[in-house]
Amino acid sequence: MLKRISHFFSPNSRKHNTNEHRVIFSNEHKLSPKMINKDALKVVEVLQEHGYDAYVVGGSIRDLLLGLKPKDFDVATNARPSEIKPLFRRSRIIGRRFQIVHVQLGRELIEVTTFRSNETKGTDKKGGSRRQQANSGVLTRDNVFGSISDDASRRDLTINALYYNPSDNSIHDFAGGLDDIDQRLIRIMGDPATRFREDPVRLLRVARFAAKLGFTIDPMTEKPMRKLASNLQHVSPPRLFDETLKLFMSGQGLATFWILYEYGLFDYIAPQVSAMMKDRNNLTGKLIEQAFTNTDLRIRNNKRVTPAFIYAALLWPSVQQLAAGYRERGNSPAYALSKAAGEVIAKQIPITAIPKRFTMPMREIWDLQLLLPRRGGHRAKRLVDHPRFRAAYDFILLREQAGEELSGLGDWWTAYQNADEEKREQMAKALGEPKRNRKRRKPRKPKTD
Ligand code: ATP
Ligand code: MG
């Protein structure tokens, strides 16, 4: 016997209409409270004891249903932030655009959000709209509280709009999210174009989850994506930078990158490089593909990855191209590289605000690309001690893997690092004394009358 209760609030509701509310009990799904983080369970329990509705929601439920390990556990409730806070000793209200409560229990930080609405009709105490929209359709303020079904409708994807109640082991599905999990589909909640305009980051979230889960993007969701890619220009640079880290450092960076590229989203993330990728197989395409392949592998092997390395790789083709131009105009390689690096970074920052703690090491990695080939005499010995040597060496390997001809430089450095003191000296000697840097004359300024 099926133990499924279905309420259809609207008799005309289509299969994935957001008004459809299905409650699924334990014998029809594979979740159990044991699978939920105990601190999240505690938060739900406390809220329910005080008479509020509370559910574990979002990515954790989606991931558990797919047999994946959730990153974090979020709780949604009908209690207001000011009602939640006094129930937990170590808690604080954060956020301006959306107020949420961070509850610290033990080592775990649980995010508790009040059910919110996506409606424009809500007003605040002063009678103004609490939900503000810029001309582009972007939501700039969004603090209208609502019911659980309102909350489901304002979420991004159907598979992220599942609410789990551990006290009766039930899942509340408002938009066919369970079916979409079965069919491995990424489907945006509501009208795709409107939802993408409201928050263009949803375009990136579609790409990220399609890659992470290996799901197909539903045709209706997919349809407006290319046309609306340019809306990413409305996302603030610091937020876009954070989002790119989620895209590139998820362990599925390569798959995510190709989806971004295919839908024209990458043009609005790194336009300087995107313009150089006329096809997948030119050197730029290969370098970027290889950078993501290596990053994904490092993540799989629990090795450290840094945004500095990823961004250094993403922007390197542009730096190289620009630097070549400056060299042709008679500048020294070091000056040309430094000038190109500064300009490429300056163009990228208004798009994704890369913090200085990453742009500094990026520039060092690039500078070392000029220095690592010059390794005769005592130079190699000094270079291996450079704090950025390891990253710069990995970068040389990356360039070679991508097909750049560097006369066996990577192999030389690999052997050098593996050699003992004596062998190292022989290796350096075999290269001969380094040539002194001949001072180049500055290019003459064109005469002006
Ligand atoms: P993960 O944490 O594994 O990356 P997640 O789905 O939990 O995935 P979060 O960024 O933690 O993603 O967001 C939590 C939930 O908030 C999501 O499941 C989704 O329901 C909602 N959400 C997040 N970002 C948006 C957005 N831009 N628009 C609408 N809903 C969103
Ligand atoms: Mg999450």
CA distances from 177 to 73, 188, 192 (A): 18, 10, 16
Longest dimension (CA), the chain: 95
- pLDDT band at residue 144, thresholds of 50, 70 and 90? confident
What pLDDT, in 10s, does the model give residues 242-298? 999 999 999 999 999 999 999 999 999 999 999 898 777 788 999 999 999 999 999
CB distance 59 to ligand 1 below 6 Å: yes
What's the rounded mean pLDDT across residues 163-177? Answer: 95
Angle in degrees, 0-180, between the axes of helices 201-213 and 237-248, rounded to the nearest 10:
10
- Residue with CA nearest ligand 1 atom 8: 59
Q: What local confidence, expressed as pLDDT, does residue 76 receive?
A: 97
pLDDT greater at residue 436 or residue 77: 77
- Residue with CA nearest ligand 1 atom 12: 59
- Which ligand lies nearest to the CA atom of residue 156 in the structure? 1
- pLDDT band at residue 25, thresholds of 50, 70 and 90? confident
How far is the centre of ligand 2, averaged over its atoms, from the C-alpha of 62 (Å)?
10
For every residue of 256-304, DSSP letters joined together read HHHHHHHTT-GGGTSHHHHTT-SSTTSHHHHHHHHHHHHHHHHHHTT--
Q: Is there a contact between 59 and 70 (Cβ–Cβ < 8 Å)?
A: yes
CB distance 198 to ligand 1 below 6 Å: no
Q: Is there a contact between 104 and 91 (Cβ–Cβ < 8 Å)?
A: yes
pLDDT greater at residue 18 or residue 339: 339
Q: What local confidence, expressed as pLDDT, does residue 143 receive?
A: 64
Q: Is there a contact between 195 and 156 (Cβ–Cβ < 8 Å)?
A: yes
Catalytic residue among 39, 63, 151, 156: 156
CB distance 142 to ligand 1 below 6 Å: no
Task: Tell me the best of 64, 150, 160 to mutate to test the pocket of ligand 1, counting ligand atoms within 8 Å of each CB and taking the most.
Answer: 160
Round to whole Å and give the CA distance between 247 and 256.
6
Task: Give yes or no for residue 375 having a pLDDT over 80.
Answer: yes
Sign, CA dihedral 186-224-57-110, equals: positive
Round to whole Å and give the CA distance between 50 and 356.
46
How far is the centre of ligand 2, averaged over its atoms, from the C-alpha of 37 (Å)?
13
Q: Does the annotation count 72 as an active-site position? A: yes
CA distances from 139 to 191, 204, 244, 330 (A): 15, 16, 20, 50
CB distance 74 to ligand 1 below 6 Å: yes
Q: List 94's β-bridge partners, or say none.
A: 100
Which of 48-62, 118-132, 166-180 shows the lowest mean pLDDT across its residues?
A: 118-132
CATH number of 284-430: 1.10.3090.10
- Domain ranges for the chain, please list them: 11-183, 284-430
Q: List 100's β-bridge partners, or say none.
A: 94, 113
Question: Look-up: residue for tokens 């709780």?
Answer: 75
For every residue of 216-237, DSSP letters joined together read EEPHHHHTTHHHHGGGGGGS-H
CB distance 71 to ligand 1 below 6 Å: yes
How far is the centre of ligand 1, averaged over its atoms, from the C-alpha of 59 (Å)?
6
- Which fold would CATH assign to domain 11-183? Beta Polymerase; domain 2 (3.30.460)
Which of 130-139, 165-174, 240-249 shows the lowest mean pLDDT across its residues?
A: 130-139
What pLDDT, in 10s, does the model give residues 236-246? 999 999 999 99
Nearest to 72 by CA among 102, 51, 94, 49: 102
pLDDT greater at residue 189 or residue 5: 189
How far is the centre of ligand 2, averaged over its atoms, from the C-alpha of 318 (Å)?
34
What's the rounded mean pLDDT across residues 3-26? Answer: 53
CB distance 201 to ligand 1 below 6 Å: yes
Q: Which amino acid is at 351?
A: I
Task: Give yes or no for residue 27 having a pLDDT over 70.
Answer: yes
- pLDDT band at residue 360, thresholds of 50, 70 and 90? very high
Q: Is there a contact between 395 and 337 (Cβ–Cβ < 8 Å)?
A: no
Most confident residue range from 7-16, 274-283, 420-429? 420-429
CB distance 160 to ligand 1 below 6 Å: yes
- Which ligand lies nearest to the CA atom of residue 204 in the structure? 1
